[in-house]
Amino acid sequence: MSLEKTAPMTIQDRLEPLSEGRFRFACHPKVPCFTECCRDLRLQLTPYDIIRMKNQLGMTSGDFLEEYAEIRPEEQGTLPMAYLRMANNERKTCPFVSPPGCRIYEGRPSACRIYPVARASRVHPTHDAVQEHYYLLREEHCRGFSEPREWNVRDWISDQGLDSYHEMNNPWMEIVTHPAIRRAQGFTLGQQQMFFLAAYDLDRFRSFVLGGRFLQLFDLPEEEIEAIRVGDESLLRLAFRWLSFTFLKKPVLNVRRTGSP
């Protein structure tokens, strides 16, 4: 999928394909624009971003969403998407920016990690491999491009700790870019609530899975149940399967014979 066509309109004409894979960039406290970009952002959060941020802050998903997220439909869709809520001040600063830098650096979201690179990915329809394309997003105000340090994309991804983000964001991208979601004429309130619960409010989704009818309807191996009891990543993988099962009609969950979803 071409990112020039699917990225927000405001950045489409600033994306340069990174065909050679190399670029010059550095961001550190000595650049004159340091933290200037951490304001007035339309920063979409993936479910994995929310896990990393809420855990870094020691919050539940519900408290995190209430304090730091705005939930609204995406540009072309009607399912709820999560955005980082900027502070209610004149500069609309990110709630986590401080003079020495990002207060949640270890848990900062994927969009902050990957800049100035942008990534488009899709799962190949026949052999399940993830195809990736990388672009450079050159923002005029960003002085990081004047720094001498040279990178290739692979090293940048690794340096920014993005491998685990990509692994967890790939199934998410597959769901939200799927034609069944993209071409849908609208979703019921119940579907929107179900999507919100599984994608964003993971702590409540855990209670829903372990405490409700979910396990009567779906047959999960004992080890998976134990893993989701204690681990957010295992739970998120299950959430993605549930979303794929429900919205994309993929047979990725075993329905018990005695129940129906």
Asked if 35 is part of the footprint of ligand SF4 (rule: CB under 6 A), the reply reads yes
Let me know: does 31 contact 144? Beta carbons within 8 Å: yes
Grouping H, G, I as helix, E, B as strand and the rest as coil, residue 120 is strand
Nearer to ligand SF4, 109 or 171 (CB): 109
By CB atoms closer than 10 A (0-12, 13-18, 19+), residue 40 is exposed
Among 51, 94, 118, 199, binds ligand SF4 (CB under 6 A): 94
Asked if 83 is part of the footprint of ligand SF4 (rule: CB under 6 A), the reply reads no
Q: Identify the residue whose tokens are 């950045």.
A: 11
Asked if 60 is part of the footprint of ligand SF4 (rule: CB under 6 A), the reply reads no
Handedness of CA 155, 159, 161, 162 (dihedral sign): negative
Among 12, 22, 33, 256, binds ligand SF4 (CB under 6 A): 33
Asked if 144 is part of the footprint of ligand SF4 (rule: CB under 6 A), the reply reads yes
> Which residues make beta-bridge pairs with 68?
none
Cα 8 to its chain centre, rounded Å, is: 15
> Which residue, 43, 34, 59, 49, is CA-closest to 92?
43
Grouping H, G, I as helix, E, B as strand and the rest as coil, residue 125 is coil
CA atoms within 13 A on the CB side of 137: 19
Nearer to ligand SF4, 77 or 95 (CB): 95
The one segment of 6-14, 93-101, 178-186, 238-246 that binds ligand SF4 by CB under 6 A: 93-101
The one segment of 30-38, 56-64, 166-174, 217-225 that binds ligand SF4 by CB under 6 A: 30-38
Catalogue the long-range contacts made by 204-211 (C-beta closer than 8 Å, 24 or more residues apart): 204/61, 204/62, 205/235, 205/239, 206/235, 209/235, 209/238
Binding-residue pattern over the window 97 to 136 for ligand SF4, x denoting contact by CB under 6 A: x----x-x---xx--x--x---------------------
Nearest-approach distance from CB 145 to ligand SF4, in angstroms: 8
Among 38, 168, 194, 239, binds ligand SF4 (CB under 6 A): 38
Let me know: does 236 contact 168? Beta carbons within 8 Å: yes
Q: Identify the residue whose tokens are 């990736």.
A: 132
Binding-residue pattern over the window 210 to 239 for ligand SF4, x denoting contact by CB under 6 A: ------------------------------
> Rule CB under 6 A: which residues touch ligand SF4?
27, 31, 33-38, 41, 94, 96-97, 102, 104, 108-109, 112, 115, 141-144
